[in-house]
């Protein structure tokens, strides 16, 4: 056997060992979503972003080990319309950053909005986790919400994802035909990136905007 061939086999063996160790180190972790729907401690950060003047999302990010992303934008549609659209899982899930999404709708009857998403990502190995979504009108009514809060969190799955959670606030404005959206996302994961988090936020915002104007959800970039 030639030296180059022995080197190739050695490298292949090391790669196989590394993959085996990675698979062995991936555990299933359960982290139940706490009762109630409350904003995060940093939930007021979107309010410090520039006030939006049209259908464009303002964003900012920070990181202290956990990626924190914030967004603020308008949808030129009444809050009742946006609230109805936000109950559609296809508008809210991470459809562009995952390979498969299996949705269980209305899985928590205690909340006006609820669904569970089972995500699958095929990278160097298969990563799977469940993301629970809940939402309720906090002020006003379902037909005329003044403030609605939606919260999601990884509740079970790969230990490669330490934290995955977020909120979306629907806020009425002085114009009854305009809704303001606030986004907060937190991610701490082995392969997570700021661009990925902000991109997912923009995908959700774009989906709500397009649906509000009776257009299809945009294709993934």
Q: Residues 194-216: pLDDT tens digits?
A: 999 999 999 999 999 999 999 99
> Please, what sign has the CA dihedral across residues 41, 50, 187, 100?
positive
**Residue that wins the pLDDT comparison between 6 and 47:** 47
Using an 8 Å Cβ cutoff, are 187 and 197 in contact? yes
Q: What is the pLDDT of residues 48-106, one digit of tens each?
A: 999 999 999 999 999 999 999 999 999 999 999 999 999 999 999 999 999 999 999 99
| DSSP string across 9-51 | HHHHHHHHHHHHHHHHH--EEE-PPPSS----TTTTGGGGSPP
When pLDDT is cut at 50, 70 and 90, the band that residue 137 belongs to is very high
Q: In terms of pTM, does the model score above 0.85?
A: yes
Distance from C-alpha of 210 to C-alpha of 195, rounded to nearest angstrom: 22
User: Which of helix, strand or coil describes residue 178?
Assistant: coil
User: Which of helix, strand or coil describes residue 97?
Assistant: coil
pLDDT of residue 21: 43
Tell the CATH superfamily of the 29-212 domain: START domain (3.30.530.20)
Alpha helices in the chain (DSSP H): 3-25, 79-86, 89-92, 194-212
């Amino acid at each position: 056997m030639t030296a180059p061939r022995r080197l190739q086999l050695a490298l292949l063996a090391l790669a196989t060992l590394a993959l085996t160790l990675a698979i062995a180190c991936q555990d299933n972790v359960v982290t139940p979503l706490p009762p109630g729907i409350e904003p995060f401690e940093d939930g007021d950060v979107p309010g410090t972003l520039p006030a939006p003047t049209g259908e464009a999302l303002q964003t900012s990010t920070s990181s202290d080990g956990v990626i924190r992303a914030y967004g603020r934008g308008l949808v030129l549609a009444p809050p009742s319309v946006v609230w109805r659209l936000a109950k559609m899982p296809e508008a809210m899930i991470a459809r562009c950053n995952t390979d498969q999404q299996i949705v269980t709708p209305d899985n928590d009857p205690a909340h006006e909005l609820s669904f569970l998403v089972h995500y699958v990502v095929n990278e160097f190995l298969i990563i799977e986790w469940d993301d629970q979504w809940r939402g309720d009108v906090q002020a006003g009514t379902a037909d005329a919400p003044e403030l609605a809060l939606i919260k999601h969190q990884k509740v079970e799955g790969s230990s490669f994802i330490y934290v995955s959670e977020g909120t979306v606030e629907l806020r009425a404005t002085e114009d009854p035909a305009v809704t303001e959206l606030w986004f907060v996302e937190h991610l701490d994961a082995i392969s997570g990136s700021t661009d990925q988090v902000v991109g997912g936020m923009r995908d959700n915002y774009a989906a709500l905007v397009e649906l509000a104007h009776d257009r299809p959800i945009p294709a993934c970039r």
